[in-house]
Amino acid sequence: MAEEKIARIAREIYENVGGTQNVKKLIHCMTRVRMTIIDDSKVNLAGLKAIDGVMGVVEDETLQVVIGPGTVNKVAQAMVETVGVRLGETFPSAEGQSIDDLMAKTKSEAKEKYNKPSKFKAVLNTISKIFVPLIPAFVGAGLIGGLASVLGNLVTAGTLDAATWTQFITVLKIIQSGIFSYLAIYVGINSAQEFGATPSLGGVIGAVSLLTGMNPEAPLKNIFNGSALSAGQGGIIGVIFAVWLL
């Protein structure tokens, strides 16, 4: 009768922890069977506590089933003998795969699910991939534009000689304008790469947004409000949207 009781407790513990395939290894102390569980969601705590002969369940780094002194060692031994290992040894899975491999796979899948980006994060990631390579150009354009503005103010205030500095300021503005033109084109290229379109077409869209061939005296009309278009009016966001439509 005692052996049947031991076998029953061992069997019912396995039934309520998801089977032998959900246990990595097992040891015992003076009163408890301590199991390293692979997937905690498969453990039926209420079922464990309801087993005749189980005095309680403790959840810690290991799942601890309180059985009591004198019986716990027999139950633990019966449990490891069921799967053909010794106390503290790693359990084999039902498919012959190491429990270590199975546990690593489970954790990997959980991590992948947890780290799977949301749609919002995916959008932010796409935008960052488009703009991050262009940060040095943005910074350069800002610095050059700022310098041109400061020098222009000094010329206006009479601090600097206009005849000497006007041409230099003009050169700075030309450089700034060239950088911004480059940005529009390169944003189109980067956007096309991210959206799976042809990069050269993306660059063309960026260049078209500059409207460099338009006669300022006879500008194109905005199809939405009828106002006259100006160079780069759509901006970089407009370029991204246009490339996305490709």
Amino acid sitting at position 87: L
48 and 17 in contact (C-beta within 8 Å)?
yes
Bridge pairing between strands 56-59 and 32-37: unpaired
The answer to whether residue 36 is catalytic is: no
21 and 92 in contact (C-beta within 8 Å)?
no
57 and 66 in contact (C-beta within 8 Å)?
yes
Options 19, 29, 94, 198, the catalytic residue: 29
Torsion of CA 218, 223, 228, 234, to 10 degrees: -120
Provide the edge-to-edge strand list for the sheet that holds 63-66: 23-28, 32-37, 63-66, 56-59
Q: Which residues are catalytic?
A: 29
